Amino acid sequence: MSKYAIVIHAGAETVKPETVGPEKEKKYKEGLKQALQAGYEILERGGSAMDAVEAAVKSMEDFPLFNAGKGANLNEQGDPMFDAAIMDGKELKAGAVCSIHHVKHPITLARAVMEESKHVLLSGEGAEEFAKDQGLEMEDSAYFITEEREKKWKEKQEEELTGQHDTVGAVAVDKNGNVAAATSTGGLAYMHKGRVGDSPIIGGGTYAHNAYCAVSCTGEGEPIMKGVLAHEVCARIKYAGNSLQQACSEAVKVDDDKLQGDKGIIAVSPTGEVAIAFNTNQMKRAYRVEGEEPFVAVWKGDNT
C-alpha cells in the first residue's frame, strides 16, 4: 500500500561529539523538526511532493545553524555563496543554480529556473538577474553571515574549516505517487571563489524519477559528484534490482578506494519507502511516513 512520506537531511560529517555539545544538538533537532513539519503538512493536505520539498528546504535555508541560506559557510573572500537544485520525478523536469550570493531562498530560484526558463542550470550574475526578474526576495551579504561563521572565517583555521561541508536537502512522495528532490548548500567553508559542488548537479547530488525514487546527497561534494551518487541509487534499483535501502547503502561505498570522503544519502520511493545511508558519525536527518510518528536524529546509532 502506498503512503506519502518526506525525508530531510541537514548534513553528514565526521566530527568529534564534544565539538557539538548538547545545546547545539538540541537546536539541530529543533531545526529538523520545523523543516520536517513544513513539508509534511503540505503532503498531509494533499499537496505536491514538489511543494513539500521546497517548503522543507526553505525552512532549513532560514535556520542559521544549517549550511544553506542564512548561516551558510563563507568562502576564501569571506562571502556567502550558494548552490541549489530541485527535480520533479513525474516529468523529469529540473532546475538548478550555482555561485549565487544574494537570493534569500536559493531553492525557490532553482524551481523558478525549472518552471519559468528553458534551461536547467543558471549561474552567478545571470542567475541573480533571473531571480530579480522573477521578483524573488534578495538580501545583502550581511543577512546571510552569522557571528559563528564569521568568527571561524576570521580564524582562517583551514584544517578545522575543511570539515564543514554539510548541506540541506529533502525528498518526498505525495498522495499521487509523485516524487521530488531538492538540495541546497553554502558549499565548503573557506572554499575557492567559484567552486561548485554536487548539490546543483542533476544526478550528482540531486535526482528524482517516478519509476524509482527521489534522492538528495550530502557530504563532500567532489567525491559525490564524481560518483554521480544520486543517479547511482536509481541505477542500482533499475538495473541491479536493489531495494531502496540497499541501493543507498551500496552507493555510499561506490569506488570508495578512489572517491574517499564523507557521504550521506536520503531517498524515498513512489510507494513511501524511506532510506538513509551515510559513512560518517553524524548525519542530521529526519523523516515522517503517513500514519507514523516523526523520526529525528543527529548521531549514528540514534534511535529517536
Provide the CA 195 distance to its chain's centre, in angstroms. 17
Indicate which CATH number applies to the domain containing 195.
3.60.20.30
Q: Which three cell numbers stand for residue 145?
A: 553571515
pLDDT for 162: 46
Do the domain assignments include residue 156?
yes
Domain count, the chain: 1
Do the domain assignments include residue 304?
no
> With 90 as the cut, is the pLDDT of residue 76 above it?
no
Helix-helix angle 106-116:124-133, to 10 degrees = 80
> How far is the C-alpha of 202 from the C-alpha of 207, rounded, in Å?
6
Q: Give the residue ranges of DSSP H helices in 193-298.
A: 221-227, 229-240, 244-252
| Domain containing residue 208 | 5-299
**Single pTM value for the model:** 0.94
Do the domain assignments include residue 293?
yes
pLDDT for 161: 46
Do the domain assignments include residue 251?
yes
- Pairing verdict, β 263-268 and 213-219: antiparallel
| Residues 13, 285 contacting (CB under 8 angstroms) | no
pLDDT for 56: 98
Active centre residues (catalytic):
167
Do the domain assignments include residue 226?
yes
200-219 pLDDT, tens per residue?
A: 999 999 999 999 999 999 99
Q: Is 20 helix (H, G, I), strand (E, B) or coil?
A: coil
Exposed/middle/buried for residue 251 (C-beta within 10 Å: 0-12, 13-18, 19+): buried
pLDDT for 156: 58
33-55 pLDDT, tens per residue?
A: 999 999 999 999 999 999 999 99
Do the domain assignments include residue 42?
yes
Do the domain assignments include residue 135?
yes
Do the domain assignments include residue 56?
yes
